[in-house]
Amino acid sequence: MLDKVVRALTSLGRSVTDRIWRLGFASRFFLAVFLYSGTAFRRFHLTIREIYFTGVLSLIIILVSGLFVGMVLGLQGYDTLQRYGSSEALGILVALSLVRELGPVVAALLFASRAGSAITAEIGLMKATEQLSAMEMMAVNPIARVVAPRFWAGVISMPLLAALFSALGVFGGYLIGVQFIGVDEGSFWSQMQASVDFRQDIVNGVIKSFVFGVLVSWIAVFEGYDAEPTAEGVSGATTRTVVTSSLAILAADFVLTAFMFRGI
């Protein structure tokens, strides 16, 4: 009986210390990525190439999702607003929801599943097939050559993708609200223009998406680099990237929103 209790406590203790150890390792890895980022900027074509793979190739899913989210917002928003006779405020509702919340958050969630998982799988497989070891033996630091360009590509792409998501969303809201339902076009745009504040809404949205970009890219490159070099290990790491980054995005969103919009 006592044996069982001791064993259970030991395994609980081990799992806690393992997690803390891994968090420490992830933090040191994050610092190392910063430290060895010189190559990613000096030879910017390496980062541009990754921006193409993570950013440009994510465009389709981001743009289509943004359009549909905006269209749904148009439908739902109109349905609620017209009950209070303020359907002209549809432009404000669509724009604020997108710029402040949905743009950065949904774009980041989509980015984590589309690009984050791909980055983890690629780095994990490079490790499993000894490509990272080979690079080290050729006196080339894999963190500088492989990890840092992918990390910065994610950080740079994320705010741009979120902005495009929001823009397409606003257009989707316009299509449904103005063209389909018949809300007055003048008030749709003018109210939106008058109520969306550049500093308070747009800049805060960009800051959010930048933070999400850092989080998703960090988790993705770390999980890939730390993956067990087997098929099972890489598949587990890919899943962890999507799950951990999604949770991190939502938690960070709450914290950021609490700081950014508490006075409103």
Partner 1 sequence: MSAEPLVKVSNLNFTYDRRPVLTGINMEIHRGQVVAIMGSSGCGKTTTMRLIGGQLRPTSGSVSIGGQVVHELDNDGLYQLRRRMGMLFQFGALFTDMSVFDNVAFQMREHTDLPESLIHDLVLMKLHAVGLRGVHQLMPSELSGGMARRVALARAIALDPLVMMYDEPFAGLDPISLSVVGQLIRTLNDALGGCSIVVTHDVQESLKIVDYVYFVSAGKIVAEGTPAEIKKSTTPYVHQFVWGEADGPVPFHYPAPPYGASLLQEVVRA
- Indicate whether 12 belongs to the interface with partner 1 (CB under 8 A): no
105 Cα distance to chain centroid = 7
Environment class of 31 (CB within 10 Å of its CB; exposed 0-12, middle 13-18, buried 19+): exposed
Could you tell me how many residues of this chain bind partner 1 (CB under 8 A)?
14
Neighbours of 32 (CB within 10 A): 16
Q: 209, 109, 100: which is closest to 162 by C-alpha?
A: 209
Least distance from C-beta 256 to partner 1, angstroms?
35
129 lies in the site for partner 1, by CB under 8 A = yes
Contact 91, 177 (CB under 8 A): yes
Residue 153 CA: distances (Å) to CA of 9, 10, 156: 43, 42, 5
Please tell me whether residue 139 binds partner 1 under the rule CB under 8 A. yes
Write the binding mask 198 to 237 for partner 1: x where contact by CB under 8 A, - elsewhere: ----------------------------------------
Among 145, 150, 208, 240, binds partner 1 (CB under 8 A): 145
Task: Please report which helix (H) or strand (E) contains residue 145, including its range.
Answer: none
Q: How far is the CB of 122 from partner 1 (least distance, A)?
A: 8
Distance CA 205, CA 226 (A): 31
Applying CB under 8 A, which of residues 138, 232, 258, 263 lies at the interface with partner 1? 138
From candidates 1, 2, 137, 258, binder to partner 1 by CB under 8 A: 137
Shortest Cβ distance from residue 241 to partner 1 (Å)? 19
Min dist. Cβ of residue 50 to partner 1 (A): 11
User: 101 or 136, CB closer to partner 1?
Assistant: 136
Residue matched to tokens 């919340």:
101
Sign of the CA dihedral with 175 first, then 114, 152, and 149 last: negative
141 scored as a contact of partner 1 (CB under 8 A): yes
Residues that bind partner 1 (CB under 8 A): 126, 129-131, 133-141, 145
